Amino acid sequence: MEIDVKFFASLRERMGRTSDKVTLDGDTATVSDVWSQLSSEPIPNNILVAVNKEYTDLTQELKSGDEVAFFPPVTGG
């Protein structure tokens, strides 16, 4: 399956890119599997996850075409 990935703020700078595409083998995959394809380091503790623009966590199962975003704590307002 193909997953669109986005990074924001300090994590975007750390990853050196604003977006990426990940291809995973098999019919089932989680957000955690996507991260493993992107980096050999574990995901930093404070990083938040969204799938299709809704907050979720690393255990969420994905389907092809999903948009997964990784970003640090939000600081608006």
Interior angle at CA 52, CA 47 and CA 55, nearest 5: 40
Residues between 33 and 52 that touch another protein (CB under 8 A): 50
**Any idea of the CA torsion for 39, 40, 45, 51, to the nearest 10 degrees?**
40
Site string for another protein, 6-25 (x = CB under 8 A): x-xxx---------------
Residue from 40, 42, 45, 53 touching another protein (CB under 8 A): that is 53
Give the interface with another protein as residue ranges (CB under 8 A). Answer: 6, 8-10, 50, 53-55, 69, 71-77
